[in-house]
Amino acid sequence: MALEVIELSDKHRHLLKRLAELIPDLDSDAPESLQRIFGLGLIALTLQITNKAKTQQQDDLVAELGDLAREMIEAENSPDSPG
C-alpha cells in the first residue's frame, strides 16, 4: 500500500481532532500536518527502538538510529518546517 493512501481508523481520526484542539497549527485534514505527525511518530518509535538496542548492546544500530533521529528532530525544528 502506498503511503499516500493510508486509511485512518475512527479512533485515530478522533485523536487527531483532539490534538488539533491543543496544537493551533495542526489541521487534521491537511496532508502537511499528517506528514508532520507521522514524522514525529517515527522519531518516537526510533527512540524506543534505540533504547531497546542499547539494552541489547547493539552499538552500531544505536549510533545509526541516534543519528537518524537527530536529523529528523533538527528538520522538525528548522525554520522551514511547517510546525
For residue range 16-56, list pLDDT tens digits in order.
888 888 887 888 778 888 888 888 888 888 888 888 888 88
**CB of 32 closer than 8 Å to CB of 40:** no
Residue 58 has pLDDT above 70, yes or no: yes
Residue 82 has pLDDT above 60, yes or no: no
**CB of 41 closer than 8 Å to CB of 48:** no
Confidence of residue 1 (pLDDT cuts 50, 70, 90): very low
**Grid cell locating 37:** 505527525
* Average pLDDT rounded to a whole number, residues 76-80: 71
Residue 60 has pLDDT above 60, yes or no: yes
